Structure 1
Amino acid sequence: MAERHGRRVPAHFGSSIGAEEAVCRTSVGLADRSDRETFELRGDPVAIETALTELGPLVWASFIAPDRALVRSEAEGASEVSDVLEHYGDISAHVRTSGYAAIGLIGPRASELLNEVDLTPSGLILREARDAFEILLPADHGPELWDFLVEAGKPFDLACVGIDALDRLAASRRTGQAASD
């Protein structure tokens, strides 16, 4: 286990960091993403859209009702997200991190797996990046969904991955972006 932003998350699942990183590059990794923040926005839909546009790459989000959205951010960016949202009088924003379980699916087969499972009515899928998704659902359903995804993911070569592998993947993406800029 490792501590990230005051929360305990799995550092690894007994494999080497390299092996867990490889899973995310070749098939699909399943990760606990409780290291991030969840905000609930309520208010004028146009104001919410405008705020989300302003926040840009700091967040990924989904509307859950015409006047309500769930927004995710890295924990280190949460204060900046809060600062931006304070300027929108037509929106109320509340941190709801503890109310949701956040499970990540990372890798080229993640989308394929998501197309095969039914997460309705309680699971909300947020797309973080091309091959990276988060599933949000009420916190008390998290363990059940984890077990379900482990079983459903077997045909997709799913493996559990820890935060250390995800950190390394993120660092290599940043390095790759810097090299291509």
Structure 2
Amino acid sequence: MNLQDPRVLRTRQLIREAFSELLRTKGFDAISIKDIAQNATINRATFYDHYVDKYALLDETIEQAFHGMIPEEVKLSREFTEEICDQLILMTHSYIVDFYRICRMDSKFIAKLVDEKIKKMLEQTIESIFLKEENHQLPAYDYIKIISAMTSSTIYGAAYRWFTDGENDRTDLLAKIVRPYVMNGLGLYHK
């Protein structure tokens, strides 16, 4: 299958749109491949030509939405600054709010899968910034991976807690609380 073929792109878009609509109305566990195919106006065989199962579709949906939300400034950043930190905190919180409000996460198992995927993508985003830093003093790639994991866990954990505590209108305060913690921790490694 040629993933650049306009027909393939259109079919995949129809499938993703149908899936997104079903996530809003039914919840992941209740969605069947038949539901997705019917909403996308395709047959089940066509669905399976594009995706192994609904978990693969969920994975792609999460990834596309996350990468679409990353500000260009963050993608191009060559240094983990306070401004980049703030953008990552706010973006992560916004993604969590959007995902959990739009999608009915009726399964703790699926919610855990989604959370792990988001954390991993955030970690990879942070790691790519650290790897581009010209003057980083970290002794080895393994340290960068560990620091990226700790930084992403801090940001994700705080953003998720802010969401579950219902403090969604005060994201400025969220950034104000989390940024110093993250930056002070990173200061130990950027001397």
TM over 0.5: no
Q: TM-score, normalised by structure 1?
A: 0.27
Question: By percentage of residues, which structure has more helix?
Answer: 2
Rg larger in structure: 2
TM-score by length of 2: 0.26
Question: Which structure carries more strand by proportion?
Answer: 1
